[in-house]
């Protein structure tokens, strides 16, 4: 890992790429053959922050929805609310869904 860091510090092209794209995207540009340990460590660290953020965000939503004002809420109802709340950022691609669906016309006549 130390040798890989030294190689990275000496590489002016990669330094410029780091300045251009920023931290999370930079590690995609590292060659896996030249920097295997460094890439592996970067993936672990970056994934740690992403999953922690999501966990904290969902916990905050849980606290808002299960307050003392809503103490009679069942666990099933709370699970349903959490599913809806956590999927708020999802966007359905209706055009591709419709394009993938085939309409079938019945051959029976009345």
Cβ(76)–Cβ(93) under 8 Å? Answer: no
Residue 54 pLDDT exceeds 70: yes
Rounded CA separation 5/45 (Å) = 16
If you count them, how many residues does the chain have? 110
Cβ(80)–Cβ(66) under 8 Å? Answer: no
pLDDT tens figures, 72-91? 777 788 778 777 777 666 67
- In terms of phi and psi (left: phi > 0; alpha: psi -120 to 50; beta: otherwise), the region of 7 is alpha
Residue 110 pLDDT exceeds 60: no
């Amino acid at each position: 890992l130390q040798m890989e860091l030294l190689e990275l510090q000496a590489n002016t092209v990669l330094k410029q790429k780091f300045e251009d794209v920023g931290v999370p995207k930079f590690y995609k540009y590292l060659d896996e053959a030249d920097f295997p340990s460094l890439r592996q460590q970067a993936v672990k660290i970056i994934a740690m922050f992403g999953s922690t953020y999501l966990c904290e965000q969902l916990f905050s939503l849980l606290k808002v929805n299960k307050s003392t004002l809503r103490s009679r809420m069942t666990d099933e109802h709370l699970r349903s609310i959490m599913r809806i709340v956590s999927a708020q950022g999802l966007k359905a691609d209706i055009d591709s869904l419709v394009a993938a669906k085939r309409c079938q016309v019945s051959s029976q006549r009345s």
